[in-house]
Amino acid sequence: MTGIHILIVAVIIVFVIAFIITMLVLNANAKKIISANTKLVETQNTLLEQNKKQGIELEKRMNELEEQKNVLEEQKGIIETLQRQQEELAGQLKHNSIDEVSLLREQTRHHREHIELTTDMSDDELMAWIDKKMDETHLFTDSNLTLKTMANALGLTQKRLGGLFKNHPKYSSLGDYINEKRFLYACHLLREEPQWTIEAVGAEAGFGGRRTFQTEVKRRLGITPLQYRQGAESIFSPKNQ
């Protein structure tokens, strides 16, 4: 083999080696780029997940603020109604004594303080307060009692009162709570007022009719109102005391 041939072979070998080295370098760079891109994608996914969580929290907070806004607007409506009533009554009392007008203003102030008080109560505190008011006023004896009329009578917003029973552990609804109050009061009347008819007891307790009263007592006790009265009479009769 001549010197020229050897030179050509050497040049080819050099080119082959250079090509291999170039490919190895390119491959290593490609792996680095792929690794960097993978980390970048993972970082972007992490940021997207964080943004998604922040978006959910933000939406939740906005919903809470919207609910608070609605409650405040409803309370504002109640206060405005009370103010209008004050103005109307003040007009009617313009010929009466100043003491009566002052009393009306004091009542309006009391209503405002009452709204602020119940707003700050926890659900358990508000439930205990409602129980006390219901037992004092017997508001449940109104057979036409609704969420709106009960809320107005207690000085609460419909949203606050309705929300209290939405996830209540004992009562499935406001109606269930009212029926329990009527039932307990009716049982009291059956024991304490033996001269009253069953219809009179049911009507006094707030049940719309005898059938409704009978059904409610039967559902809760498994016996009729008359059977309950007869049982109570035998238990509380003088010879058994």
pLDDT tens column, 182-223? 999 999 999 999 999 999 999 999 998 889 999 999 999 999
Q: In 3D, which of 160, 166, 146 has the Cα closest to residue 75? A: 160
Nearest in space to 211 (alpha carbons), one of 229, 224, 197, 221 = 224
Q: Any idea which fold 122-241 has?
A: Arc Repressor Mutant, subunit A (1.10.10)
Domain boundaries, the chain: 122-241
Paired tokens of 2: 């001549």
Q: What is the pTM of this model?
A: 0.54
Of residues 178 and 83, which shows the higher confidence score? 178
Whole-number Å distance between alpha carbons of 72 and 146: 22
